[in-house]
Amino acid sequence: MKKLIAIIFMLTSACYAAGYVGTLPDVTRSFVPSEPRSVKPVFEEVENFYSPNQVKPAPRDNPTFVNIILKKDKTSQYLNDLNEFIPMLEKIYDSIEDKENVQLFNAKVYFFNKNADFMREKYLDKPESEYISFKKLMELSSHSKTLATLRSEAQKYNPYLAYGGAGYIYDPNNIDEQLNFLKIEIEQAILLLKEAD
């Protein structure tokens, strides 16, 4: 049995090793390349495409067309503005979580405050200024600005102050406590903004 398997193995390996030993036919003699054909458009050409006689105007006065085809934006501009604040607040939150340096934290707070100032001016004396979400944003803007200033001053004055008396506000433990409080406020604000409709 072993001899039979060895013979079969030798024969099959000899066939694979030899390969094809012959001449190939010349296929180029009978090969004819295809020539590109020109294709004509299915529709007829219109000379004055933009002429009013050829193109019907969109029925913008038809409510069906407006509601189905144009699909007006259902969210108000105020909600769109609110949604822009969510990533800003998340970045400030992450900055506190990651214990980023004062400069990075203050840059993110500055960007948030500039947007909050724009929002304040935009909706001043409008009904939106009475919304809870608006008031929460303005309150958070004020608190984050105060904390950013406190951190900057602490970094500047820490080498020269004792933490007793007036220097207590620059104590790192106090600043950490304030940052944790800001984190909680940011969480509440993000939840409020996401639920706004």
Q: What confidence tier does 123 reach under pLDDT thresholds 50, 70, 90?
A: very high
Q: What is the mean predicted confidence (pLDDT) over 31-39? A: 75
Window from 23-32, 38-47, 182-191 with minimum mean pLDDT: 38-47
Window from 66-70, 104-108, 142-146, 178-182 with minimum mean pLDDT: 66-70
Q: For 134-177, how does the pLDDT look when each residue is reduced to its tens digit (9 = 90+)? A: 999 999 999 999 999 998 888 887 767 665 555 667 788 888 89
Average of per-residue pLDDT values in the chain: 79
Confirm whether pTM is higher than 0.75.
no
| Residue of higher predicted confidence among 11 and 182 | 182
Q: What confidence tier does 46 reach under pLDDT thresholds 50, 70, 90?
A: low
Secondary structure in 3-state letters for the chain? CHHHHHHHHHHHHHHHHHCCCCCCCCCCCCCCCCCCCCCCCCCCCCCCCCCCCCCCCCCCCCHHHHHHHHCCCCCCHHHHHHHHHHHHHHHHHHHHHCCCCHHHHHHHHHHHHHHHHHHHHHHCCCHHHHCHHHHHHHHHHHHHHHHHHHHHHHHHHHHHCCCCHHHHHHCHHHHHHHHHHHHHHHHHHHHHHHHCC
